[in-house]
């Protein structure tokens, strides 16, 4: 197996899991993360995944640090659903995917990479997007950089979610 060293990820994989170290809580405060945020809502926001499965991989995240759906308020549930709906529309308009995976992984055994802060994934998909590079080479090939995805998606979200 080929190894790709990414020493800058050490801080991410060794975090304690407390709210102060949460990547999603930090993304709301950090100027470094702001370029990844494509929409700010009242109780939730939409951010591009820094380590996407495909170009345009979005995350809908509640502002509050909660781990479970049962911990969300009614307003948070409604806004997260509305933002996921807008994300589907934006991804369809910008990328024209043939499908979109939408889901949550609650708890580490269920596959949650950030188990202590709930989030919804929206991953645009195309027939054949998992090709030999992923299967044989264990490498993902992305068609654009995350910053380009943000530039393309941000104006679409501004139009779709214009308050007024």
**Which residue numbers are catalytic?**
119
Going 6 to 55 to 48 to 152, the CA torsion angle's sign is: positive
Q: Reduced to 3 states, what is the DSSP secondary structure of residue 140?
A: coil
Tell me the C-alpha distance between 45 and 84, whole Å.
Answer: 10
Helix H segments across the chain?
A: 10-13, 23-29, 74-95, 132-135, 146-160
Helix, strand, coil % in the chain, rounded to nearest 5? 40, 15, 45
Beta carbons within 10 angstroms of residue 161's beta carbon: 18
Tell me the C-alpha distance between 96 and 89, whole Å.
Answer: 10
């Amino acid at each position: 197996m080929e190894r790709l060293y990414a020493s800058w990820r050490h801080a991410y994989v060794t975090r304690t899991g407390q709210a102060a170290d949460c990547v999603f809580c930090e993304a709301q405060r950090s100027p470094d993360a702001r370029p990844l945020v494509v929409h700010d809502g009242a109780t939730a926001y939409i951010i591009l995944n820094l380590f996407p499965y495909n170009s345009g991989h979005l995350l809908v995240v509640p502002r509050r640090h909660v781990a479970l759906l049962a911990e969300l308020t009614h307003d948070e549930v409604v806004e997260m659903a509305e933002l996921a709906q807008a994300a589907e529309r934006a991804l369809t308009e910008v990328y024209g995917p043939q499908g979109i995976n939408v889901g949550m992984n609650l708890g580490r055994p269920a596959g949650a990479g950030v188990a202590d802060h709930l989030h919804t994934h929206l991953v645009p998909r195309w027939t054949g997007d998992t090709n030999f590079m992923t299967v044989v080479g264990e490498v993902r090939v992305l068609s654009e950089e995350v910053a380009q995805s943000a530039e393309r998606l941000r104006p679409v979200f501004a139009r779709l979610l214009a308050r007024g």
